[in-house]
Structures are given as C-alpha cells and as structure tokens.
Amino acid sequence: MSDPLFVGVDAGGTKTAALAVAGDRSCRLTGPAAQALRDGPEAAAAVVSALLSDARRQLDGGPLAGVAVGLAGAGRDTVREAVGAALAPALDGAALAVTHDADIAYHAAWGDGSGALLLVGTGSLVFARTDEGETVRAGGWGTLLGDDGSGAALGRAALRALLAALDGGPPSALPEIAAERFGIHSADDALAAVYTEQRPLGSFCPLLLAAVEAGDWTAEAALHAEVNGLAKQAGWLATRVGDGIRQRLAYAGGLSGEPAYRAALDAALERHLPGWEVARCEAEPVEGALAMARSLAG
C-alpha cells in the first residue's frame, strides 16, 4: 500500500511552490502565479490542483491525506471558502486547509508560538500572534492602497525616480540602467511599459536595487523611505499588542534575501522595534505549509 501523501503549497503573486512528502520520499514542484483576488478563486484552485496531480505522479500516486495551501489574496473567509470549494474535486476527501500566505510563512518561523512576521515579496504584510493566540496584522492592502516596501512599491519608486531624472531632476544612474537592462530610453517608453504593455510594477524592482548597488543616492533614498514605511507598520502593530506578545520578529519573502534591501530593512526595524529579537527566517513558507498539512491528519 502506498504511503499517504501530504502536500504544502505556497501560492503567490509571482509563482506557486509545492512541497510533497509520502513516507521517506519527497518532491518539490513549481507552478505559475496564483493570486486569489487578482486571478479569481477558480483560477487559483486550478494552479494548485495541477500541482497536486504532479505530486501524485512523482510520488507514485499515494492517497492524499492532508493539503495546506497558503494563498496570496486569501485574507477573507469568503475567498478561502471559494478556493476550498473549487479544490474539492481534486482532494478525494483529503483534509484541507486554505489560509493566507502570511500564515504559512509565520508557521515556518514560529510554529504555533507567539511573535511577529514581516512578509515582503511582490506585496508586503506584518502579521503576528499574541500570547493568547489572537492574530493581528498591519499593512498588506495591495499595490493601490499599501504594500509599503514591497517589490511593487520599489518598482513604482524606481519609475518615479527615473521619470524625475528624465524631467531634469537630480542626477541619477537610473536612466542609464533603465536603457541598458530594460530597454526604456525615454519617458514615453516608461509610460508605455506601465500603461500600454501593463508590465507589473514589481518587475521594475530590480531597477531600483541595481541603482542602489551602483551608489545612486536617489535610489538609496527611495529604498530607505519604502522600508521605513514597512518598519513603521511593524512598530504600530507592536504598540497595539503591547506586552501580550513575545518580542521577536522574523522576516521572510523573496526581497528579504537581497543584500541591499536586507541591510536597509535591518536598520529600519532596529529603529521601530527597539529591544526586539529580529532575524530573517531561513525556513521557506512552503515548509510551514507542509507542517500544517501533516497536522491536519493528527
């Protein structure tokens, strides 16, 4: 008889990762982006369903025992329920948990314990669990209303600074880097990239980071302003929960591994969370999802 199969899924705005285990065998899988609000619950569920099928094939078709999905854009109960309903035909009765992506990243960092998590990738969010088990959050309101310090926010900041330089503003390395690496030679090119081609703002995040690495002070100022806004949200959350939380914060997400970004974030968090234990979480969110999937089966 085949070993029961457990699958953890980290579905984000850029890509979807899955980690599957059956007995002593495991596999990692990657799929396209799955953002519940942007793409819709059915489309997000289709991405996850395809990865579940791939996991079954790679691990000899063992019965699904537990599936946990951390999904970007799944902050509301109605969204999670819709995704769960769309996934039901692919589960064969297996236990399922659909939660938001910050929840699985938190689980990778602190398990069920008290503390805080700062998640920063295409979007951003500060998420915490108090000593009493209450969950609280700050930020994460999407690219139009929030997501300070995120890849999308840094991409927007890069383009704003680029356009300022092209308008005759402060000298900057951004025009040269934009021309060489992104094929953007003019303000018209920048506007066409965003409004006509509708390139995601997050795709321009590397432009800002490249300018920072080149020593461009306008890019550095933009980076520090963005991460300071995100660190302020962590400070606001800490003030709200007071003494009811263990004073530790882990940060995770794709941007947190970038050296220039990490240095700026460390400095900002030191200002806004004095006395807190702060470190980057080395465990991947998908590992937290797999741990949650295992727990579903007791």
Match 């947190």 to its residue by tokens: 256
Instruction: Determine the Cα–Cα distance for residues 167 and 170; give it in Å rounded to an integer.
Output: 9
Instruction: Determine the Cα–Cα distance for residues 107 and 126; give it in Å rounded to an integer.
Output: 14
The low-confidence residues of the chain, meaning pLDDT below 70, are 1, 61, 298
Task: Supply the pLDDT for residue 61.
Answer: 67
Buried/exposed code over 182-199 (b: 16+ C-beta within 10 A; e: otherwise): bebeeeebbeebeeeeeb
113-282 CATH choice from 3.30.70.1380, 3.40.50.2000, 3.10.350.10, 3.30.420.40: 3.30.420.40
Task: Supply the pLDDT for residue 12.
Answer: 79
Task: Supply the pLDDT for residue 298.
Answer: 66
- 5-93 is classed CATH 3.10.20.30: no
Longest dimension (CA), the chain: 71
- Please, where in the chain does CATH 3.30.420.40 lie? 5-93, 113-282
Task: Supply the pLDDT for residue 14.
Answer: 76
Task: Supply the pLDDT for residue 151.
Answer: 95
